[in-house]
Chain A
Amino acid sequence: MADRFPSRRPRPIALATVGVLLATVACTNQAARHASAGAPRSGGSLTFAVNGDPVCIDPQQSPSGTTQLAVRGVVDSLVAQDPRTGRIVPWLATSWTVSPDARRFTFVLRSGVTFSDGRPVDAAAVKANFDRIVDPGTRSQFAVSLLQGYAGSTVVNPHTVTVSFTTPSAPFLQAASTAFLGIESPASFAAGPAATCRRIVGSGPFTLSRYTPRASVLLRRRPGYAWPPSTATHHGGSYLDSVTITIVPEDSVRVGSLRSGQVDAIAAVPPRQVDRLRHAGLTVTRVGLAGVPFSLIFNHARPPLDDVRVRRAVSRAIDADQIVHTLYHGIYPRARGLLTPPTPGYTDPTGGRDTFDPDQARTLLDQAGWTGRDSSGYRTRNGHTLTIDWPYNTPTHDQSDVLAQLVQQQLKRVGVKLVLRPLATGAALSTLAKGDYDITQQSFGRADGDVLRNFFLSTSRDNFSHVALPDVDALLTRGAGTTDPARRDALYGQVLHKLYEDATAFPMYDIVSLVGTSNRIGGLHFTDEGLPVWHDMWIANG
């Protein structure tokens, strides 16, 4: 092509470099911070990054764990649960009595407690709260499930309220310690559920200053707070002036923000980042959460897992230790039994033995009649291949898709064909509702052995295993009928043994919460549900 601008002398042009020059300045100036948190001091603001959006900040409506984390410092509960012992201790209620049939709970409330709008926390307020939760107009998506069988509350006098149920409900005491059943100011209910999704009023050490959806939640200290539970590490109001909970969904950005000091603490540290953070001088705290561990639930309602021998064989063929170490580097502990260790009622039904025994798996499958082989090496019986279908929700958390692939490899070695079906949320839930699966994965957080009832009571709506063991039903019902902790522990221990013998489900790993903090943070401790207690935390001067 001819020169576009004729009669110009050619001018050499230095090539502009397109790439960005970095290098020399890029040495990280994140020198390990060895500054310690020092003694508690009043004042300062804390920034905490989480990975999910509350969507609705009202704990009576929202099922979201982020809502819980945000509002645990805004609403108080009738009682608290000691994370070390699992026992229920006083909070807004100084004492309580339970009827022998565990259907009526009478609470005596502490006097002098007020909401941040000045109104008193009295029996009428408690009644208004529980009545509201069960009212369908409130659109509670979770809290109402903790009040199953609720028959109403009676105001005995301004400081005494009796909560009644139609069936024995011993687990209600533990449920009353959660933020889901936290006590909000009834005056705020008049604005309607959509309004309380944006702003709630409680009696806690913080007030909810502002919730910006998908962005942040701002909590401010409430002056004059004087009624923390005995699980708190100090009396009186909070140390911090404010807490900002920022929503940062991307793992790497959240971790990087902690390392670069843009936030003071983060939730949901990915297991593979734990060592890096610790080497950088930051603290990562691992909190074991109570409830049902991440487990593979077998569907007993259809072949091949309707046969207990096949279920036991599959349980023997899975090397959970290998999976857990490969994927989570030992950060997530291997689960034993269908409760996690911090859960009241936990026991190890395996007796500490290694359950991985592929030879026994093969023997059991032979006994069950799966003795043929197809061209790929999978077992067959009467011309049918031994196929197990596992649909699951994508996007996955905690690499559960990779976990499924590892299980698939392990099952192949004993001749079982595991078919994995990744599905979008809607389709995955439909599949679950229709029972169109052989394996589904479940876990659930709750600091009470009664959580087993959700999944393993034969009449429960979430009985995804379709298990129907009358012994287990009886034990679970009795567990819900007594408030004696020792008795309940024994009952749930028996349930765990029976479920283990039945190979109802395969527990894979215990759920833990990984919280990363800068060393300026002090006083970090957690509720029984693994939520940070903002009230007791302080931050040292920069």
Chain B
Amino acid sequence: MTTTAAPNRARPGRLVRFLVLRLALAVPVLLGALTLAFAALRVVPGDPVQIMLNASGNGADVGPRQEQVLRHQLGLDEPLAEQYGHYVWHAVRGDFGTSFQTGESVLHTLASAAPASLALAGAALGLAVAVAVVVSVADVWTGNRALHAVASAAGVLAVSTPSYWVGFLLVDLLSFRVPVFPAFGNAGLASLVLPAVTLALPGAGILTQVLTDSLLRTLAEPHVETATAKGAGRLRVLVRHTVRNAFIPTLTITGSAIGNLLGGAVVVETVFARQGLGRAAVDAVTAHDYPVVQAFVFFVTLVYVLVTIVVDLLHAVADPRVSITST
């Protein structure tokens, strides 16, 4: 970290250079992700055509010609290098091909599943952050040891409880026994509540622990003592002097929490029978629907890359000691 006299955010030139550099670095990352996905799918045993034709259970003979034609239509009879070349060539133009299973454009498949996932992930993230802030601030504000112990234990419990169990529990209690929320589907805000709570729980646990820890650390620093000695009230100390500093490590964790949300969404989407990217991806993996899986890996990588860039930028905004040119 370099120490500069003036805050870096006042220099747009550096910002632009930073962004250009990071986006340029993203390109080999994305290409690497594409290549790995391509390779992994072809190394794993299982032939997509066989899987498609056996979806009804074995016992249906569509004939070798049909199978051959199918294989040709999906481009699976070409040599691997050619398949890879075609794939990358089209991908950089935004054409991720058509799904093996439905023949539909892959982008269309993912785009139709994305809004539901975004809504769920957004709600879960918002909930996790809100819970983390409330619980950790309450813990720190009151200084009550018993509350601290309970909050810590709850945080650990939240992280370690499997989300499908939480999901089933919530569905049973708040949908079947006491009909408050719907048990499945994408319709309306009510159907978002239980899945969002289930998905938010592990994230809330982690964020609470990290935020509490960094709040406590910051409060122990000399500048807080100075502020208090100068007569600042508890609230002012907390808001003006503590939170911004304490939020920095939390920011990093939030970035990876977003990635975890994408992963945890699969379980939640299946339990609550919601449409979404997670289920679409799992179905595609099981069916060896190469184009869909490859596109999914690409977009998840893209999300990670963008989130990392944003987190780094926010770091620079929050902490004047951090220079955005430092990597």
Contact = CB atoms under 8 A, between A and B. Distances in A.
Given A5-B143, A257-B183, A142 B60 contact: yes
B327 interface: no
A244 B307 CA distance: 39
Nearest to A214: B275
A140 interface: yes
Nearest to A149: B63
Contacts of B182: 262
Interface in A103-140: 136-137, 139-140
Given A213-B112, A249-B270, A461-B61, A63 B228 contact: no
A470 interface: no
A141 B62 contact: yes
Nearest to A454: B59
B271 A250 contact: yes
Interface string A284-296: 0000000010000
Interface in A1-60: 1, 3-6, 8, 11-13, 15-16, 18, 20, 22, 25-26, 28-29, 49, 53, 55-56
A334 to B, nearest CB: 21
A446 B58 CA distance: 12
Interface residues of A, number: 78
A29 B176 CA distance: 9
B61 to A, nearest CB: 5
7 contacts: A3-B143, A25-B178, A141-B62, A198-B104, A256-B171, A426-B46, A455-B59
A193 interface: yes
Contact of B184 (A65, A253, A454): A253
B228 A142 contact: no
Interface in B70-89: 70, 73
A495 to B, nearest CB: 16
Nearest to A1: B220
A156 interface: no
B60 A454 contact: yes
Nearest to A4: B219
Interface string A234-259: 00000000000011111011001101
Interface of B: 44-47, 50-66, 69-70, 73, 98, 101-104, 109, 112-113, 138, 140, 142-144, 146-147, 150-151, 153-154, 157, 168, 171-173, 175-179, 182-186, 216, 219-220, 228, 234, 237, 270-273, 275, 279-280, 283, 286-288
Contact of B101 (A25, A56, A259, A462): A56
Nearest to A63: B56
A429 B50 contact: yes
B70 A425 contact: no
A214 B140 CA distance: 45
Nearest to A146: B60
A490 interface: no
Contacts of B45: 424, 426-427, 430
Contact of A464 (B52, B58, B144, B146): B58
A203 interface: no
Given A141-B53, A213-B112, A262 B63 contact: no
Interface in A68-90: none
A5 B171 CA distance: 42
Contacts of A56: 101-103
Contact of B59 (A8, A259, A451): A451
Interface in A441-489: 442-446, 451, 454-455, 460-462, 464
A443 B178 CA distance: 40
A426 B44 contact: yes
Given A139-B103, A145-B61, A253-B171, A64 B70 contact: no
B47 A214 contact: no
Nearest to B74: A139
B148 to A, nearest CB: 10
Contact of B280 (A3, A214, A253, A427): A214
**Do most interface residues of chain A lie in helix, strand or loop, or is the interface mixed?**
loop
A63 B178 contact: no
A130 B271 CA distance: 40
Interface of A: 1, 3-6, 8, 11-13, 15-16, 18, 20, 22, 25-26, 28-29, 49, 53, 55-56, 63-65, 136-137, 139-142, 144-145, 148, 192-194, 197-198, 212-216, 246-250, 252-253, 256-257, 259-262, 292, 424-427, 429-430, 432-433, 442-446, 451, 454-455, 460-462, 464
A474 B69 CA distance: 32
A148 B63 CA distance: 8
A260 B179 contact: yes
A442 B59 contact: yes
Given A5-B228, A141-B53, A15 B147 contact: yes
A433 B50 contact: yes
Nearest to A18: B154
Contact of B271 (A16, A20, A253): A253
B173 A26 contact: yes
A194 B150 CA distance: 55
A217 B60 CA distance: 26
A273 to B, nearest CB: 13
B102 A246 contact: no
Given A136-B66, A197-B103, A429-B54, A6 B228 contact: yes
A247 B273 contact: yes
A42 B172 CA distance: 34
Contacts of B153: 18
A400 to B, nearest CB: 12
A442 B102 contact: no
Contacts of A197: 102-104
Contacts of A432: 58
A444 to B, nearest CB: 4
A22 B146 CA distance: 24
Contacts of B144: 12-13
A427 B271 CA distance: 26
Contact of B52 (A3, A16, A141, A262): A141
Given A426-B44, A444-B57, A248 B184 contact: yes
A144 B62 contact: yes
Contacts of B146: 15
